[in-house]
Amino acid sequence: MDEKKISVFLITYNHEPFIAQAIESILAQQTSYTYEIIIGEDLSPDGTRAICEQYAAQHPGIITLLPGNRNYGPQGNTLRTLRACKGQYIALCEGDDYWTDPHKLQKQVDFLEANPGFSLCFSAVTIKDEMGWNLPYEYYYPELTKDVFTIADFIVSEKNIIPTPTLLFRNVLPDPFPDFFTKAIAGDMGIQLFAADKGKAKYFTEPMAVYRNHAGGVTKSQENLVKGNDKLMQLYKDFNAYFDYRYDALFRQRLLAYYKSNLIYNARDKHGQKKLTHYFKAMPDYLKYSDGINMKELVYYHVVLFFPFLLRFFKSK
């Protein structure tokens, strides 16, 4: 296969009802650039593999379906698919999302070609809620008030700024990947940091893709959210060292915000011994990233944690 200008990274697992729409939305792209679709299908037990095989057979010059002789897991599948992407640019899409703008690739690559100081671009996204949650856009992604971002924005933001199916970036990924990245669970956040370290990011305000919220997605239970956030904070610590602490103040700011939130809000539903265990586990991380001890703040947190009735009393007065 001739080398393509753009590699479209498409990972999928158990997406039988959705994968055809994802692939069709990529094939519908109208662009003067050559592109390939690299599909990392992770040995799904449903019919996802058969659908991908059918499309690969129909488009042999465009679609490469990676071997599916075993299940690699989310990060393993991400890594092998990224390694297979050899284009000058890489665009992301997952098997349960899809693109809506047939000129997405053309617009994004045109911008990066004309602006060498930028290394990535992304757009707004349309939320397709199949769970009936009826939640506002801000539940999923922050409302953005500017169109140029730097790595500082991505580090300190408490929410993922970039909807994954809208991201396109220069292929500046390290080879080989650092060991910590091969064990991470937030692969999309890692990709953003690798790319944002090399240049600025451009935001297109018009939606170019659909993010689908459905029952087969990653569970959003409180326990899994805490575990996921803890692993994301470890990823930030690893990236801080990987970048030789050039962004140390920013990473410390983000880590402090998380551990401060963890100390208070993740204790709300705990009582007795469980609350004490949480306190002794969470307090050292909070203190580690605090620039000096703020006694007023510490007293307030102790009242919130252990004497909430006092807080209610003083507020009532």
Tally the domains of the chain. Answer: 2
Among the residue ranges 59-63, 173-177, 185-189, the one predicted with the least confidence is 185-189
The pLDDT of 286-301, averaged and rounded, is: 73
Examine the pLDDT at 16 and tell me if it is beyond 80: yes
Specify whether 203 is located in the same domain as 248.
Answer: no
| pLDDT at residue 308, rounded to an integer | 66
Summarize the confidence of residues 172-185 as an average pLDDT. Answer: 90
Mind listing the pLDDT tens digit for each residue in 236-249? 999 999 999 999 99
Residue 233, domain member (yes or no): no
Q: Is the pLDDT of residue 44 over 80?
A: yes
Judge if 194 and 274 occupy the same domain: no
pTM more than 0.85: yes
Residues of the chain with pLDDT > 70, as a percent, come to 88
Tokens of 2: 């001739």
Q: Which of 194, 213, 232 lies at the terminal end of a domain, its last residue?
A: 213
For residue 312, is pLDDT > 80?
A: no
Does residue 219 lie within any of the structural domains?
no
Residues 62 and 170 in one domain: yes
Supply the range of the domain harboring residue 16: 6-213
Is the same domain home to 204 and 79?
Answer: yes
